[in-house]
Chain A
Amino acid sequence: MKVLIIEDEKTLAYEIEFFLKKAFFLSDLAHSFSDGLEKIKLNKYDYILIDLGLPDGDGLTLLEKAKKYNPDAAYIILTARGKLEDRVNGLDLGADDYLAKPFFLPELQSRMQAIARRKFNVNEELLLLGNFRIELQKRFIFFGEQLIELSRKEFDLLSYLLLHKNRVLTRIQLSEHIWGTFADDDYDSNYIDAHIKNIRKKLNVYEPTDWLETVRGVGYRIKK
């Protein structure tokens, strides 16, 4: 999978590239409108990430132009502006998703994966955790033929951890994924723990869930 990151904050662009590399994406970097447009004209990308606040032009204009050269790419808008109309306009212009800065990198990857499922009809291989079978699209988890009832949030949590398997995710990263970014003033929430406890309780009925690890003082990880 090839990704173009158009972001004028170089440090930020490098961090995104670094993260995506570990998730087996190859990234090109562009730090300006003109540079970005140049690369879009020359190459084919699967994903194009566009920062709206570029120094030499508006990201939305770039999005419009890029669609001509790379119509099949998935576009994700990144912005610190956080204006409602940016989001609406961006999606109207054909962006596939929109992320307000600051965002967590696993969140970016999860959005990219969701687009892949929608847009590229990528059927994930059947996901297995021990003897549990997970169907991400249908949001089912089976043990053998037995369907296990998980709440919406519990399933979200499990699939998010599964997508980032072998990587420890912090409680903050997890709660922002589950509860979103709306202004909530509890920054030290341990509610994730309660959900993990519930997941374990529901699954342990069938089989021990050793693959779901607690990393003390850090967060949780699915080891596979």
Chain B
Amino acid sequence: MAIVGLFILLLPFLVRQIASDYTNFSLQNQKKKVLQNIKKNGLDYYFQGDDNYGSYTMLKEEYISLETTTSNLRIDTIKTTQRIVEQDTLTYRVLSFTFKTGNKNYLLEIGKTTASINLYNDSLQRFALYVLVILIALSIIIDLIFTRQLIRPLSHIIKLRLSSTKFPFKKNQTRIKTSTTDFRYLDDSLISLMNQINEAFDKEREFTANASHEFMTPISILQNKMENLLSEESTTESDQRHIVDMMRTLERLKKISRSLLLISRIENEQFIKQETVEPSKLFAEIQEEIEHRLEEKNIKININLQKNHLLQQVNYDLLFQLFYNLVNNAIKFNSKNGNIVISDDIKNNKYIIQVEDNGIGIAEHQLPFIFDRFKKFESTQTSGHGLGLAIVKSIIIYLNLEIEVKSKPGTGTKFEIIFKL
């Protein structure tokens, strides 16, 4: 581009140079012609008996003159100078040439007005510019076609490896077909990077599973000790209350460990996906299970599953857990006397179940983080360990579903669970 720019900047100079070269060349040509004529026909061809000859075109753009001059003058130049032709002073490009015939010295002058030179100077410039523009356009088009062809493996790599991959990555990635070593190298590096990420992820998963397992035995011991202590005859009522407080704290630890264990079990694919679930039955069960919470806040739930599409190749317990958590949240983040609506729809070959509440909603800047583990927001001072939606997300990934959230603070939240048909 810089080269093209420089070229365009230099263009007037170049054209002027070309034009003046061309003028010089045509002046020389004319000189040759004149000399040839003289040789062939003698000087009288021009002089016709006179001792000088002059001729110019109608608009005085060109002139030619031949005259005798002092015998010792010798010139052969081309320069820009002024001449007076019939009272008009004009600037000419003039070729002056002296030659001897017999014993006389003659001066031949052929001139061309600079104005007329500039005239085709301009048109030449314009023409050159057109050619240039066409060339540039042509080269851009060719470049595009050519580079697109050339870098097709690159866009393929980006699409396959970077933009369309969902985490965790599939194992055993196939290599992309390309004969370009650089692309091969890039692709191999990306595959190895993905493998490394997978490995790190596996390790983290294993750690979570192991850690939560390891917690279970000590929690078990503490819990059972407290239970026995609680029912000792020697334990006073005030001691009992302290023990219950401890048990409640331990319960918290237990729930966190259990939830982490559940997430890691889902991520390690320890659930069978071979059940068929009828949404209306699933929600009836969830409603029964959660009735006491609805009653406590006097929340109305409206289960309106018109399509009630059978869900195949799923896991009942996981779907139960998924929707239980969503409904539970819809209760938890709802106000007294609130509403929850469960509805479904079939659109674009997809079956969608919606869980909608008119509760406190989620601020927009918090939306991207609601599925993160242990994420709690200041606005939600309710009990909970912050793993409910993390569990939801792991189930969504495992069952190959999609989830969408729309929320407006103060108005409510809508979760959409999308099943591919």
Binding site for B on A (CB under 8 A): 9, 11-12, 15-16, 18-19, 22, 80-85, 101-106, 167-168, 170, 172-173, 179, 181-188, 191, 194-195, 215-219
B238 to chain A, nearest CB (A): 9
Given the known interface contacts A12-B217, A168-B240, A179-B289, the answer about A19 and B296 at a Cβ–Cβ threshold of 8 Å is no
Interface contact A101-B231, CB-CB below 8 Å:
no
**B383 at the A/B interface (Cβ < 8 Å)?**
yes
Q: How far is the CA of A95 from the CA of B248 in the complex (A)?
A: 31
**B75 at the A/B interface (Cβ < 8 Å)?**
no
Which residues in chain B, 337-388, are within 8 Å of chain A measured between CB atoms?
A: 383-388
Interface contact A15-B240, CB-CB below 8 Å:
no
Interface contact B223-A183, CB-CB below 8 Å:
no
Interface contact B293-A19, CB-CB below 8 Å:
no
B284 to chain A, nearest CB (A): 14
Interface contact B255-A183, CB-CB below 8 Å:
yes
A116 to chain B, nearest CB (A): 21
Interface contact A104-B220, CB-CB below 8 Å:
no
Binding site for A on B (CB under 8 A): 213, 216-217, 219-221, 223-225, 227-228, 230-231, 237, 240-241, 244, 247-248, 251-252, 254-255, 258-259, 261-262, 265, 270-272, 289, 292-293, 295-296, 317, 320-321, 324-325, 328, 332, 383-388, 391
Q: How far is the CA of A106 from the CA of B226 in the complex (A)?
A: 12
Q: How far is the CA of A206 from the CA of B234 in the complex (A)?
A: 36
Interface contact A218-B244, CB-CB below 8 Å:
yes
* Nearest residue, chain B, Cβ from A9: B217
Main SS at interface, chain B: helix
Q: How far is the CA of A105 from the CA of B324 in the complex (A)?
A: 27
Q: How far is the CA of A185 from the CA of B384 in the complex (A)?
A: 5
Interface contact A102-B255, CB-CB below 8 Å:
no
Report 12 cross-chain contacts, Cβ distance below 8 Å, ordered by A residue. A11-B221, A11-B225, A16-B224, A101-B216, A102-B224, A106-B227, A182-B324, A185-B255, A191-B292, A191-B293, A194-B296, A217-B241
Interface contact B296-A102, CB-CB below 8 Å:
no
Given the known interface contacts A82-B213, A84-B271, A183-B259, the answer about A105 and B387 at a Cβ–Cβ threshold of 8 Å is no
B208 to chain A, nearest CB (A): 13
Interface contact A82-B216, CB-CB below 8 Å:
yes
Residues of A within 8 A of B332 (CB): 186
Q: How far is the CA of A216 from the CA of B213 in the complex (A)?
A: 34
* Nearest residue, chain A, Cβ from B225: A15
Interface contact B292-A195, CB-CB below 8 Å:
yes
Interface contact B262-A215, CB-CB below 8 Å:
no
Query: Of B217, B227, B321, B387, which one neighbours A19 at CB under 8 angstroms?
Result: B227
Q: A84-B272, A168-B240 are in contact. List 9 more A-B contacts (CB 8 A).
A: A12-B221, A19-B227, A80-B216, A83-B270, A104-B227, A183-B259, A186-B328, A186-B332, A218-B240
Q: How far is the CA of A179 from the CA of B320 in the complex (A)?
A: 13
